C-alpha cells in the first residue's frame, strides 16, 4: 500500500514564555524567568515547516490552544472577573499563572501516540492523545489536543481515537519510534519508558515521565499485530543527564536508527534485540548508527539536541536530516554530521533556528507529530489545515498582527494579554477551519 509520512505541527501560541516549569528538562530549568519572544518563536516554527515543505514533506497545521485555562485558577479559589483572577494569581500564585498560560502544546511530539494502519490488526490508524500527567502545565493540553486530532483525522472508517490513558504517565510519540522498510509496509514500533513497573532502578535525580504500564497499554489498545511492538527502558543515567524524553537521544527514519550508546538501559544488548526484532518484523536489515560516548558525551547530546532531529524521506528515497543550529555550532556534532552526509547516510543537512523553542527544551523533533497515512487515508484530511505557501503567508500575517514581540514573566499579569491571546487563537482556528469543534474541546 502506498503511504507517506505526514507531519502535524502546532502554530506556536501567543503566550510562549519561560517559566521553568519542567524539572529534569535542563533548558526549561535554565531559562525560567527570562523574557521570551512569542512573535519570533512562531515565525521560527513556520520557517521549520517551510524547510520541510521544500523537501516535499506533507504537513498539517494544528492551532495553538486557548490560554489561559481558567479551570485550575478557579480550582485554586481565584474568582471574580477574568482580569481579577489573573491579577490575583499573578500576586499569589505566579507559577500557577505561568502554567495556565503555557504555550507548551507547540511540542506536538507529545500530543499523541499514533500507529499506522499497516501495523494494526484492524487496518485502521490508532491515535491516543497523551495524558502528560506528570507535569501540571502539560496535562492541560490533553482535551484540546484530542479535539484538534479528531478534527484533523475525522473519518471514523479510517481513524480510531482512543481516550487518553488514565493508568499511568504517557508523553506520546516523543517516546515512540516506528521502524519499517517502507512507510506503507508493516513496521516495528518501539515504545520507550523511563519508569519500569517493578524491579529496575529508575533515575535518581529527575523523575521519569513515561511509565511502562502506559507504553504497554498503548501497544495493546492500538491493536498492534504480534511482533510489531517492542518495549524498552530508557537508561536512567540518561534521564538524570537531562534526557527527559527518548527523542532527545534516539531518532529513526524507516530502517535507519540513530542512537546514542547510552540511550537504553541494557545498552548494546537492547540494540541487538532491536536489530533482531526488526529483521523478523520488517523482513530487512536495520541500519544502525550508534554514537559512542567518547565521541559525544550525554551532556553534549542534551546541549546540542543532535538526536532531536527530523529524519525524513526525500523524493529520491534517501534521508534528509533537519536539526537545530546548535549542532552546526558545536564542532563535534557538525563533524559527525558531515561524516554521515559524506557516507550517504544523510542526503542533505538542514540547520534551523529554533532558539525560542530550544530554550524550553523543544527541538525540531519535539515540534511535530509523525502520522503515516495511505493515499486514501490522506484524502480524508481537511484541506484547510494542509500546510502550503499560501497558508504560510496567512499565518505569518496573523503572527505579525496578534503576537507580542516580547513577553516578560511579569507581563502575564497584564489583563490585556487575555484578550490578545483569545483573538490570536480565534483567528488561527478560523483560518485553519476548525473553529467550533475546537472551541467545544
Ligand atoms: O515537556 N518544555 C517541554 C518540552 C517538550 C519537548 N518535547 C519533546 N522532547 N518531544 C516539556 O518539558 C517548558 C515550559 C516552561 O518551562 O515554561 C516545557 O514544558
Is the minimum distance from the CB of 168 to ligand 1 under 6 angstroms?
no
Q: From the CA of 235, how far away is ligand 1's center (Å)?
A: 20
Q: From the CA of 207, how far away is ligand 1's center (Å)?
A: 14
- Find the helix packing angle between 389-402 and 38-54, rounded to 10°: 180
Q: Give the whole-angstrom CA distance, residue 417 versus residue 83.
A: 10
Active-site annotation, residues:
171, 245, 366
List the chain pLDDT tens, one digit each, 441 residues: 799 999 999 999 999 999 999 999 999 999 999 999 999 999 999 999 999 999 999 999 999 999 999 999 999 999 999 999 999 999 999 999 999 999 999 999 999 999 999 999 999 999 999 999 999 999 999 999 999 999 999 999 999 999 999 999 999 999 999 999 999 999 999 999 999 998 778 899 999 999 999 999 999 999 999 999 999 999 999 999 999 999 999 999 999 999 999 999 999 999 999 999 999 999 999 999 999 999 999 999 999 999 999 999 999 999 999 999 999 999 999 999 999 999 999 999 999 999 999 999 999 999 999 999 999 999 999 999 999 999 999 999 999 999 999 999 999 999 999 999 999 999 999 999 987 555 533
CATH number of 3-67+102-431: 3.75.10.20
Q: 87: which 3 cell numbers?
A: 491579577
- Cα-based distances in Å from 145 to 130, 138, 140: 9, 11, 9
361 Cα nearest atom in ligand 1: 4
Q: Give the closest residue (by CA) to ligand 1 atom 10.
A: 366
Is the minimum distance from the CB of 20 to ligand 1 under 6 angstroms?
yes
Is the minimum distance from the CB of 31 to ligand 1 under 6 angstroms?
no
Tell the burial category of 203 from Cβ atoms under 10 Å away from its Cβ (0-12, 13-18, 19+).
Answer: buried
Q: From the CA of 280, how far away is ligand 1's center (Å)?
A: 35
Is the minimum distance from the CB of 109 to ligand 1 under 6 angstroms?
yes
Is the minimum distance from the CB of 147 to ligand 1 under 6 angstroms?
no
Is the minimum distance from the CB of 246 to ligand 1 under 6 angstroms?
no
What is the per-residue pLDDT for 251? 98
Q: From the CA of 156, how far away is ligand 1's center (Å)?
A: 31
pLDDT digits (tens, 9 = 90+) for 309-329: 999 999 999 999 999 999 999
Is the minimum distance from the CB of 21 to ligand 1 under 6 angstroms?
yes
Q: Give the whole-angstrom CA distance, residue 258 versus residue 82.
A: 48
What is the per-residue pLDDT for 312? 98
Q: From the CA of 48, how far away is ligand 1's center (Å)?
A: 18
Is the minimum distance from the CB of 210 to ligand 1 under 6 angstroms?
no
Q: Give the whole-angstrom CA distance, residue 100 versus residue 236.
A: 30
Q: From the CA of 371, how far away is ligand 1's center (Å)?
A: 21
For residue 349, list its beta bridge partners: 321
Q: From the CA of 212, how far away is ligand 1's center (Å)?
A: 21
Q: What are phi and psi of 179, to 5 degrees?
A: -110, 150
Is the minimum distance from the CB of 366 to ligand 1 under 6 angstroms?
yes
How many Cα atoms occupy the beta-carbon half-sphere of 327 within 13 Å? 27
32 Cα nearest atom in ligand 1: 16
Cβ contact 27:360 at 8 Å: yes
Q: From the CA of 107, how far away is ligand 1's center (Å)?
A: 7
What is the per-residue pLDDT for 359? 98
What is the per-residue pLDDT for 258? 98
104 Cα nearest atom in ligand 1: 19
Is the minimum distance from the CB of 305 to ligand 1 under 6 angstroms?
no
Cβ contact 421:128 at 8 Å: no
What is the per-residue pLDDT for 201? 82
Is the minimum distance from the CB of 174 to ligand 1 under 6 angstroms?
yes
19 Cα nearest atom in ligand 1: 17
The preferred substitution site among 10, 103, 107 for testing ligand 1, maximizing ligand atoms within 8 Å of CB, is 107
pLDDT digits (tens, 9 = 90+) for 251-262: 999 999 999 999
Q: Give the whole-angstrom CA distance, residue 381 versus residue 125.
A: 13
The preferred substitution site among 17, 94, 104, 304 for testing ligand 1, maximizing ligand atoms within 8 Å of CB, is 104
What is the per-residue pLDDT for 440? 39
Cβ contact 261:237 at 8 Å: no
Cα end-to-end distance, the chain, whole Å: 34
So where are the chain's domains?
3-67+102-431
Q: From the CA of 361, how far away is ligand 1's center (Å)?
A: 5
What is the per-residue pLDDT for 199? 74
Is the minimum distance from the CB of 32 to ligand 1 under 6 angstroms?
yes
Q: Give the closest residue (by CA) to ligand 1 atom 5.
A: 362
Amino acid at each position: 500500500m502506498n503511504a507517506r509520512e505526514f507531519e502535524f505541527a502546532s502554530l506556536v501560541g501567543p503566550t510562549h514564555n519561560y517559566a521553568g516549569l519542567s524539572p529534569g528538562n535542563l533548558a526549561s530549568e535554565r531559562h525560567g524567568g527570562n523574557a521570551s519572544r512569542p512573535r519570533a518563536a512562531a515565525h521560527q516554527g513556520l520557517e521549520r515547516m517551510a524547510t520541510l515543505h521544500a523537501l516535499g514533506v506533507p504537513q498539517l497545521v494544528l492551532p495553538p490552544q486557548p490560554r489561559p485555562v481558567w479551570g485550575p485558577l478557579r480550582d485554586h479559589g481565584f474568582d471574580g472577573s477574568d482580569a481579577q483572577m489573573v491579577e490575583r494569581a499573578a500576586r499569589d500564585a505566579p507559577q500557577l499563572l505561568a502554567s495556565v498560560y503555557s504555550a507548551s502544546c507547540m511540542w506536538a511530539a507529545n500530543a499523541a501516540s499514533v500507529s499506522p494502519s499497516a501495523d494494526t490488526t484492524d487496518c485502521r490508524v490508532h491515535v491516543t492523545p497523551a495524558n502528560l500527567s506528570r507535569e501540571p502545565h502539560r496535562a492541560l493540553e490533553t482535551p484540546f489536543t484530542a479535539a484538534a486530532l479528531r478534527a484533523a483525522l475525522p473519518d471514523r472508517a479510517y481513524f480510531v481515537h482512543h481516550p487518553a490513558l488514565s493508568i499511568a504517565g504517557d508523553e506520546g510519540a516523543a517516546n515512540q519510534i516506528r521502524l519499517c522498510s517502507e512507510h506503507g509496509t508493516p513496521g516495528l514500533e518501539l515504545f520507550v519508558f523511563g519508569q519500569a513497573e517493578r524491579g529496575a532502578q529508575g533515575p535518581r535525580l529527575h523523575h521519569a515521565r513515561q511509565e511502562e504500564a502506559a507504553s504497554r497499554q498503548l501497544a495493546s489498545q492500538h491493536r498492534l499485530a504480534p511482533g510489531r511492538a517492542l518495549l524498552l527502558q530508557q537508561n536512567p543515567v540518561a534521564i538524570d543527564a537531562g534526557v527527559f524524553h527518548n527523542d532527545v537521544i534516539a531518532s529513526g527514519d524507516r530502517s535507519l536508527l540513530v542512537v546514542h550508546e547510552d540511550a537504553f538501559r541494557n545498552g548494546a544488548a537492547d540494540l541487538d534485540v532491536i536489530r533482531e526484532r526488526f529483521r523478523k518484523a520488517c523482513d530487512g536489515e536495520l541500519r544502525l548508527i550508534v554514537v559512542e560516548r567518547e565521541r559525544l558525551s550525554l551532556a553534549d547530546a542534551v546541549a546540542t539536541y543532535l538526536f532531536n532531529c527530523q529524519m525524513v524521506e526525500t523524493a529520491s528515497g534517501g534521508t534528509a536530516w533537519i536539526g537545530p543550529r546548535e549542532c552546526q555550532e558545536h564542532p563535534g556534532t557538525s563533524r559527525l554530521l558531515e561524516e554521515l552526509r559524506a557516507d550517504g547516510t544523510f542526503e542533505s543537512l538542514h540547520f534551523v533556528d529554533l532558539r525560542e523553542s530550544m530554550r524550553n527544551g523543544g527541538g525540531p523533533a519535539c515540534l511535530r507529530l509523525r502520522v503515516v497515512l495511505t493515499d486514501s487515508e490522506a484524502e480524508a484530511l481537511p484541506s484547510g489545515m494542509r500546510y502550503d505557501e499560501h497558508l504560510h503567508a496567512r499565518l505569518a500575517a496573523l503572527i505579525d498582527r496578534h503576537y507580542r514581540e516580547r513577553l516578560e514573566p511579569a507581563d502575564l499579569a497584564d489583563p490585556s494579554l487575555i484578550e490578545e491571546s483569545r483573538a490570536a487563537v480565534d483567528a488561527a482556528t478560523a483560518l485553519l477551519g476548525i473553529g467550533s469543534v475546537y472551541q467545544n474541546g
